[in-house]
Amino acid sequence: MGAATVPEVTSRLWSMKTMDNPDAAPGVKNNPRTVLDASIERQKSGNLPVVPLKGNHFEVEQPYAMLNNGSRIPLIGLGTYKGLDSTQTAVEAALRAGYQHIDCAARYGNETSIGKGISNVLKEGIVKRQNIFITSKLWNTNHAPDKVQGACEKTLKDLQLDYLDLYLIHWNVSDEHGWQTDGPTILETWEAMEKLVDAGLVKAIGVSNLSIKKLEALVKAARIQPSVNQVEVHPYFRNDDLIEWCRRHGIHVSAYCPLGTPSSSAKQVTRYAPSATQDPVLSSIAKAHNKSIQHTIIRWGVQHGTSVLPKSSNPGRIKDNLHQTVGWELTPEEYKRATSLDFQLRMVDGCQFVHPPTEDPQAHPQGGLYKSFTDLWDDDTEPQRGVFIKGLYTTIAIPSLKLNNGREMPILGLGTWKAPPGEVGMTVERGLRAGYRHVDCDGNEGEVGESLRLIFKEKVIERQDLHFTSQLMPKDCHPAGAKKAVDGTLLTLGLDYVDLFIIHWPHGRADDFEGTWKAMEAMVYEGKVHSLGVSNFDVDKLESLMDFAKVRPVINQVELNPNRRESELLRLCRDLSIEVMAYSPMSKSQPDTAKINGQNIKDKLLQSIAAKLNKHPGEVFLRWAIQHGTIVIPKAVSADLLQHHLAVLDWELSEEDYNALTTSAARRREVLEL
C-alpha cells in the first residue's frame, strides 16, 4: 500500500470543493467529486454556522466537506461506540464544546441516551438542529426491505429527531453473525434506503465497511448515489486505494478508529497490534507542534481528506479533540512522513463475519456469506494479516515426543483443570499466542472453544498444529456415553476431530469397560479421534486394558512429580511404548499454581536446588518431570506464569540435582480418587 499523494498545503483550515467528475461510474452523470484543496473556507454563519451563546458553548472554526447531495459534513465528529452510561454526558459536552457532528448507530445500544443529550442542548438554545450533523446506521438484522423504514423510525424516536442527516448500512451482512447466505442483497436494502430519502426521513444515505468491488456494483445500480462510505482509516491503515476510488466517484470517506486504537474488539487482532499513538514518527511531528500525538493523528485524518470520529467520554478530552486539531496543520513534509509509515494493517477486520466451510454437519457445513477475509474485503491483505499475526508473538518451539501410533505430542502442554470460570478462554488464548500447542481440557470446552475459534480465525495457529486432549468423565464411561461425549466435545469446540481422548478414571458406570473402549476405538476409525489414552490407571488396570485393546492407548495421564514418582508404573508404560503425561507436575493439585512458592513447597532439597539455580521451586519440579521423560501439563492463569512454564525449556538440571530429586523420599499422593 503506497503513500497517498501529498496535497499542497497553504492554508490553516482544510475544506473540500466539488467539480464535475470525468471518471464517474457508468450511468452517473455530472457526479460531483471531492478534491482536497488548499483554499480557505472558514466555517462562519451561512456555511455551518456556530452560534456563540452563553455558558460552556465555544465558538470554533471547523473544516468541512461537501457531500454529493449538497450537504456539508463537519470533518471532526464525536464517535459514540461503546459509550453507554456516559453517552448522554459525552454528547452534551461535545455540542457545548462546538461539535456539529455526532456519529451514532442502532447497534451501539445508546441512541436513547444520545437523544436525551441532543434534546437537552437544543432546548438550552446552545445550538440549532439545522447546524448539527447526525449520522446513524442500519444494523444487519434489519436489511430486509420491509424492515428498513421501521428501523430508521426507531432510531429517530430514540434520538428525538425528525430526520437524520446521514443513514448508513452498517455492514454488508444480513444477519447477526454473517451465516446467512441467502438474505437480502445490498441492492435490495439500498432501494429501501432510497425511499427514506424520498420520505424525508434522511437527507443522505451511505454505507460502511464496503470495498471498492462492492461499491462499484452499488454505484452502478443505485438511483440515489451513496454520499459516504464509513471505514477504518488511520496512519496504520490508510486505505489509500479505497479513498482515491471514493474521491473519484464523489463519495466522501468518514474514518472510524481514526487513532488506530479501536476498542471494538477485545477478542480481535486489535488487542495485540501496535498502536499509531506510540509511533515515533508521529510522536516527533506532535512534539514539533507542541500537540499530543492523538491530536496530531486527528489532524492528519482531516488533511487526508476524511471526516474523523474520535471517541471519548471525558468532557476535557472531547473538547480538546476538536479545539486542539483546528487552527493549525501539518506541513507538506510532515504530512508525507505520516502518510508513508510502512506498517499497515486493518485492525477492525470483521472476523466475526468470516466463516469458512466446516466438515461438521451439525454446524454450517457450507460456511457463511464470507468464507475468507478476501471475500469480505475484496483485497489481498489476508496474507499480510497472517504474517503480521504470526510475527507478532515471540513463540517458543516446544519439543515433541513420537507416540506409539506415529503421531507427535508436545512435551509441555497447558492444563485447565479447575481453572477459574471466565478465565479459561483467556488463558488458552494467551497460551497459544505464547507458543503452547497442546491444551488439556477438563469440562470447560465451552470457554476453550470460543478461544479456539478466535485463534483459528486470526491465523495464529493452524488446526493441524494444535494438539487437543479431552476427557471421558466417569458419568459417561459406558459405550453410548463415550460416543455422546466425543460428539458433544467436537460440537462445543467447533473441531472436526480430537487429538487425544482419554478415560478420566478407571471406574464409573463401567460394567462393560471393554465395550466402552471399543466404542472409543470406533471413533478412531471414524476419524473423530486421532489417539486414545487413559488417566489414573495403575499397573493392574493398564495390563487388563492391554488384553483386549485393538487401538493401543498412547498416553497414561497420572499424578507425577518428585514426591510421587510412580516408578513401577513408568517402567510398565515404557515397556508398552505408552507415554506418561504428568498432571500436578509441581506437586500441588490446587488450581492456582501461581500460589506455589517457598512456603508452599517446604522441601529443603528442592529449595536449595532452586536457590542455587535462581529458579522458582515450581519450575524445578517442572524441569525434573520433563527430564524424567514425561509430558507435563501444568496449570496457569496469568500471562507471567505461562511464560515461567515455557522458560523451563531453556535450561536443565544437572545430573547431580536430577538424581537427588529422583531419589528423595517419596510422599503421599496429593490427588485423591474422586
Residue 344 placed within a domain: no
pLDDT of residue 373: 84
Is the torsion defined by CA of 542, 546, 549, 552 positive or negative?
Answer: positive
Tell me, rounded to whole angstroms, the distance of Cα 531 from its chain centroid: 32
Do 408 and 321 lie in one domain? The reply is no
Of 306, 338, 370, the last residue of a domain is 338
Do 518 and 605 lie in one domain? The reply is yes
Q: Which amino acid would we find at residue 558?
A: V
Q: Put residue 594 in one of left, alpha, beta given phi > 0 → left and psi -120 to 50 → alpha.
A: alpha
Do 54 and 187 lie in one domain? The reply is yes
What residues form DSSP beta bridges with 579? 555
Q: What is the crossing angle of helices 212-221 and 240-248, to 10°?
A: 20
Tell me, rounded to whole angstroms, the distance of Cα 27 from its chain centroid: 40
pLDDT of residue 33: 30
Do 167 and 83 lie in one domain? The reply is yes
Find where cell 542455587 sits: 612
Catalytic site residue 108? Answer: yes
Task: Classify residue 505 by its DSSP letter.
Answer: S
Largest CA distance in the chain: 93
What is the DSSP track for 40-66?
-----TTSS-----STT-------EEE
The grid coordinates of residue 135 equal: 449520522
Residue-range definition of the domain harbouring residue 145: 15-338
Q: What is the crossing angle of helices 186-198 and 145-159, to 10°?
A: 50
Asked if residues 350 and 481 have their Cβ atoms less than 8 Å apart, the reply is: no
Do 81 and 155 lie in one domain? The reply is yes
User: Could you give the CA distance from residue 87 to residue 94 in angstroms, rounded to a whole number?
Assistant: 10
Residue 386 placed within a domain: no
Run of H or E residues at 79 = strand 78-79
End-to-end CA distance of the chain: 60
Task: Classify residue 422 by its DSSP letter.
Answer: T
Residue 376, Cβ density class (10 Å: 0-12 exposed, 13-18 middle, ≥19 buried) = buried
Q: Among 616, 615, 611, 627, which Cα is nearest to 661's?
A: 627
The domain that holds 603 is classified in CATH as 3.20.20.100
Residue 76 placed within a domain: yes
pLDDT of residue 564: 82
Do 150 and 261 lie in one domain? The reply is yes
Q: Is the pTM of this model over 0.75?
A: no
What residues form DSSP beta bridges with 32? 20
Do 495 and 617 lie in one domain? The reply is yes
Do 79 and 209 lie in one domain? The reply is yes
User: Could you give the CA distance from residue 646 to residue 641 in angstroms, rounded to a whole number?
Assistant: 9
Asked if residues 545 and 537 have their Cβ atoms less than 8 Å apart, the reply is: yes
Do 306 and 446 lie in one domain? The reply is no
Residue 355 placed within a domain: no
Is the torsion defined by CA of 344, 348, 353, 355 positive or negative?
Answer: positive
The grid coordinates of residue 602 equal: 517446604
Do 127 and 274 lie in one domain? The reply is yes
- Provide CB contacts within 8 A for 88, sequence distance 6+: 113, 114, 116, 117, 120
Of 322, 338, 354, the last residue of a domain is 338
Q: Among 229, 329, 486, 446, which Cα is nearest to 15's?
A: 329
Residue 373 placed within a domain: no
Residue stretches of the chain with pLDDT short of 50: 1-56, 264-268, 360-362, 510, 588-601, 668-674
Distances (CA, A) of 549 to 477, 481, 581: 16, 19, 20
Residue 376 placed within a domain: no
User: Could you give the CA distance from residue 333 to residue 281 in angstroms, rounded to a whole number?
Assistant: 12
pLDDT of residue 108: 93
From the candidates 64, 81, 99, 108, which is the catalytic residue?
108
Q: What is the crossing angle of helices 445-457 and 424-434, to 10°?
A: 40
- Provide CB contacts within 8 A for 3, sequence distance 6+: 238, 240, 336, 339, 340
pLDDT of residue 23: 36
Residue 54 placed within a domain: yes
Run of H or E residues at 388 = helix 381-392
Do 404 and 334 lie in one domain? The reply is no
Of 305, 338, 371, the last residue of a domain is 338
Considering its fold, how many domains does the chain have in total? 2
Residue 174, Cβ density class (10 Å: 0-12 exposed, 13-18 middle, ≥19 buried) = buried
Please state the three-class secondary structure of 560-581 as a single string. CECCECCHHHHHHHHHCCCEEE
Do 331 and 444 lie in one domain? The reply is no
Q: 3-class SS at 523?
A: helix
User: Could you give the CA distance from residue 252 to residue 79 in angstroms, rounded to a whole number?
Assistant: 17
Residue 383 placed within a domain: no
